[in-house]
Structure 1
Amino acid sequence: MNELSLPTSTEAAIRRVEELGEALKQNFPEYVFPVEHSLHGGMYARTIRMPAGTAAVGTLIRVPTLLIVSGHVRINSGDRVYELQGYHVLEGEINRKQMAWALEDTEITMIFATQAKTVDEAEREFTVEFEQLQNRKKEISA
């Protein structure tokens, strides 16, 4: 196991992330992050590119994942906040919700094993909050 891993979120940690997300929505304009998807070899990869100075609130992740971070970012994990600079591969447990703040331009890729044949199936597999994913909101408003 990696020394930097993202554990399952407690109910209190999930509430804190949701409260921070609501405060961001009320005080800052929404930024729509570019999202790239890849389905290959029984794996789904989802990459977002975060410009410096932006924050992202994730959905509740219900599958184990790898999270690859390249850049300079703060990511909460339960009751801790990690500041990561450079390139990191993190192991993510099930039932977790995180928030990330980009201190410099940062790329974050989440990968998990799946039998999904479409991006829609993969999104529905990794979160019950799939309707909150920014790429889905963008599709709806387009």
Structure 2
Amino acid sequence: MSGEAVAKVRRLERITSAMPQVEIDTRHLFHAGMYARTIHIPAGVCLTGALIKRATLLIFSGRATVFAGGEVIDLIGYHVIPASAHRKQVFLAHEDTDLTMIFPTEAGTVEAAEAEFTDEAELLLSRRQGGNTTGESQCLEQ
């Protein structure tokens, strides 16, 4: 995203930060040298993301208007998206929507993985609201 597009998202963040905040469930999974981070955005919620500094895969399932790459697009259904580095997105969920971001990592903790994908980790809802982490061994037992 261009610096101008990122600045637009930051302006929206300043406006929405004064509004009532909604709890967003964040689930974390480490497996096979990969970190997966899944959030659930309830219908009607507008969510701005942290500035992502590395390329990832983004799995989208739901219906939302998205501001990414300086463009507004409507996504409906299920999509696997190659998501570029240096992005700060906005999602307006029209239906309940799930997003999973995946990237390879050697991080062993959620905090280390978060620091790897953003310099804005302190802004992440998982830091303020907690989250659910599943490790490789737990995943194999299920």
TM-score, normalised via structure 1 length:
0.88
d(CA) in 2 for partners of 1:122, 1:130:
10
1:132 partnered with 2:123 = yes
**Backbone CA RMSD of aligned residues:** 0.9
Q: 2:56 aligns with which of 65, 68, 74?
A: 65
- Residue identity (%): 43
Partner of 1:23: 15
Between the two proteins, the alignment pairs up a number of residues equal to: 130
d(CA) in 2 for partners of 1:36, 1:78:
25
User: Unaligned 5+ residue runs, structure 1?
Assistant: 1-8
Runs of 4+ aligned structure 1 residues displaced above 2 Å come to none
Write the deviation string for residues 45-102 of structure 1: whole angstroms up to 9, x where unpaired: 0011011000111001011101100010111112211101000011111111101110
d(CA) in 1 for partners of 2:57, 2:120:
19
User: Unaligned 5+ residue runs, structure 2?
Assistant: 131-142
Write the deviation string for residues 25-53 of structure 1: whole angstroms up to 9, x where unpaired: 22x20112000000111111001101100
1:85 partnered with 2:76 = yes
Partner of 2:3: 11
